[in-house]
Amino acid sequence: MKTQPSDARRMDTDAEEAKVVAFLKAHGIRFWRPSPHQIKVGQWSFYPSTGSILCDGKKKEAKTGAGTFIEIIRRIYPDHRDSLPLDCLV
């Protein structure tokens, strides 16, 4: 059976989502899901289906993807003790 493009995209989305969720859980960083299509850490949002990264009140980040989102979170929370930032500075 051939995989349809939508099925392939869903698998990619699932992999991106799983990568981010695994990282956050492994480092004890609090996150929530405002919608089934969004992962939110403090003011930062990641959308696995598009790879888009947004900070509340700011323009969309130029770079996309799970790896970029994880790198931003690593810079914001280098010691992973506080997962509620005051702003979006990275």
pTM recorded for the entire structure: 0.76
- Domains of the chain by residue range: 5-76
Beta-carbon contacts of 20 under 8 Å, excluding residues fewer than 6 positions away, are: 39, 46, 48, 66, 69, 70
Mean pLDDT of 29-36: 90
pLDDT in tens, 36-82: 899 999 899 999 999 999 999 999 999 999 999 999 999 887 765 55
In whole angstroms, what is the distance from residue 12 CA to residue 2 CA?
A: 16
pLDDT of residue 81: 52
DSSP string across 31-81 = -EEEETTEEEETTEEEETTTTEEEETTSPPPSS-SHHHHHHHHHHH-TTSS
